[in-house]
Amino acid sequence: MTLQLKSLPKLLPLLQQPHRNLNMRRPRLPLLPQLLRVFKSCHRHRNHSRNILQLPLEILLLITEKLALHDMFLLSHTCRAFRHVTVQDWRAAVRRLSFRDRIDFWAGLAYTLPGFWVCSKCCKLHPIHTSDFPMCLRSSRGQWFPCAVDYSQRYGGDYFQVQHHHIQLALKLSRRGNMHQKYLAGLMSTCIYPTHYLKRFKQSYEAEPRIINGQFLLRETWNLSSVTSTCSPLFSEGSVFRLRVCSHLQLFYSNLERSRNLKRLILSARAQVANLTQRELMAISREATLVEDEIELALESPGWWRYNSCMRCHTDFGVMITPGKRIATIQAWHNFGVEGSPMDATWRAHADDAHYTTFECFFRNAHLHHRHGSVRELYYESTPRAT
């Protein structure tokens, strides 16, 4: 059955208004005889595009009872028969939902509406703004959205930041393929941060998103090299250096042992507050220092890639050091999942939250397991590998 939802965007402002501002009366629930008359009318005007209406009314009612609220709302706007089957006070029904369920309700509607996305701060739908890109978050804060959006919920570091609605809009526009294709191209464009110089070495950065099998993937690449041949090898000095493989795995100093010690100090203090055992603290410390461990192993076998995965989000990463130990390439592959709600576990595992302190993620996020190397393999699916 073809959904006739062209007028649905006009209903959204009414549905999102506070109840006290609405003058619409609560709909009267239809009696069973009224429902039967509606369906007899549908049977008389039989249409092969509406074969579902040929089902007995009792079975159809059982089916609609299993639907999510957003599916029932969409179904109620398809034809008169389904409007009678699903009739209820939609504003009151949405208002009774918990915050998480309301987010899921709007996310379900946003999946159908091509020009909208769900906001996890004000729990409403916002229209697309085709100047809103991941790379311009700092300059555009509060420019387009009256609620200012929850900018603490995002993924990224100093060079590239992406929010949930950028990912969802890219997936939706790619799926539909019939609108805002220039905006989609901008969302999927490669971000290249120019080479810049740190204390003893220079660094370049690149972020390249892809959509594969309806999933949003991102590859990040950091290239590090010594400034001159007289400098000491990489990762031997103790200068401040920030490299974020994911929200859980970071490098704070170019000296690996110094970076490890800082993490252990922070985790030990936090573990005392959380009343963790020594064994639990050791397990968390091993998780938090995976990047340092792989860089150290790559230094022992220059010219070869070392791969590992984050235990708390869908991220694979790899490290390769050249034989001279003066050039390092670090890559990370992230899978942000399919279209869904901002409350989905896959996105929440990736997203930073500015309201929490450093390494709080190890104490509040459960493990989100995936097969080691599966994200990296999926990223290169049907594409020649080029590192």
Q: Pick from 95, 116, 139: which residue ends a domain? A: 95
Domain of residue 24 covers 8-95
Domain check: are 206 and 350 in the same one?
yes
Q: What is the pLDDT of residue 50?
A: 56
Do the bridges between strand 155-156 and strand 124-127 make them parallel or antiparallel, or are there none, so unpaired? unpaired
pLDDT at residue number 387: 46
Of all helices (H) and strands (E), which one includes residue 9? helix 8-16
Answer left, alpha or beta for residue 382, where phi above 0 means left and psi between -120 and 50 means alpha.
left
In whole angstroms, give the CA distance from residue 265 to residue 247: 19
Which of 74, 95, 116 is at the close of a domain? 95
**Domain count along the chain:** 2
Token representation of residue 11 = 């209903």
**pLDDT one digit per residue (tens) for the chain, 387 residues:** 444 455 566 556 656 665 444 333 334 434 444 444 544 554 455 555 557 777 777 787 888 888 888 888 888 887 777 887 777 788 888 889 898 999 999 999 899 888 899 888 888 888 888 888 886 544 444 456 667 665 657 887 777 888 899 999 999 999 998 889 999 999 999 988 877 766 677 888 999 999 999 999 999 999 988 876 665 677 877 666 778 899 889 888 888 898 899 888 888 888 888 788 888 888 888 999 999 999 999 999 999 999 999 988 999 999 999 998 889 999 999 999 999 998 898 898 888 765 455 567 776 667 788 899 999 999 998 654 544
Do 209 and 76 fall into the same domain? no
Give a yes or no: residue 24 inside a domain: yes
DSSP bridge pairs for 253: 240
> What local confidence, expressed as pLDDT, does residue 183 receive?
94
d(CA 103, CA 56): 33
Same domain as 81, residue 159: no
Per-residue burial over 204-215, b = 16 or more CB atoms within 10 Å of its CB, e = otherwise: ebbbebbbeeeb
Does residue 122 fall inside a structural domain? no
246 inside domain: yes
Is there a single domain that holds both residue 187 and residue 291? yes
Residue 197 backbone phi and psi in degrees, to 5? -105, 135
Residue 336 resides in a domain: yes
C-alpha 137/C-alpha 152 separation (Å) is: 11
Q: Considering the domain boundaries, does residue 384 fall inside one?
A: no
- Give yes or no: residues 31 and 165 share one domain: no
The DSSP secondary structure of 236-295, one letter per residue, reads -S--EEEEESSSS-EEEESSHHHHHHHHHHHHHHHHHHHT--HHHHHHHHHHHTHHHHHH
User: Is 60 part of any domain?
Assistant: yes
- Say if residue 207 is in the same domain as residue 89: no
279, part of any domain: yes
The reported pTM is 0.82
* 89 shares its domain with 191: no
325: CB partners within 8 A, 6+ apart: 233, 234, 299, 302
* Contact criterion met (CB below 8 Å) for 111 and 168: no
Residue 39, pLDDT score: 44
Query: Of the residues 95, 118, 139, which one is the last residue of a structural domain?
Result: 95
What whole-number distance in Å separates Cα of residue 66 and Cα of residue 82? 15
CB burial readout 343-362, b (16+ within 10 A) else e: bbebbbbbbbeeeeeebebb
Q: Between the CA of residue 141 and those of 131, 352, 371, what are the distances in Å?
A: 12, 17, 37
CA distance 340 to 323: 44
In this structure, the answer to whether residues 247 and 349 fall within a common structural domain is yes
pLDDT at 242: 78
What pLDDT is attached to residue 198?
A: 67
Phi, psi of 151 (to 5 degrees): -75, -10
CB 170 within 8 A of CB 215: no
User: Do 256 and 335 fall into the same domain?
Assistant: yes
Both 226 and 308 in a single domain? yes
Residues 367 and 297 occupy one common structural domain: yes
Q: Within this chain, do residues 199 and 68 fall inside the same structural domain, yes or no?
A: no
pLDDT of residue 29: 39
Give a yes or no: residue 106 inside a domain: no
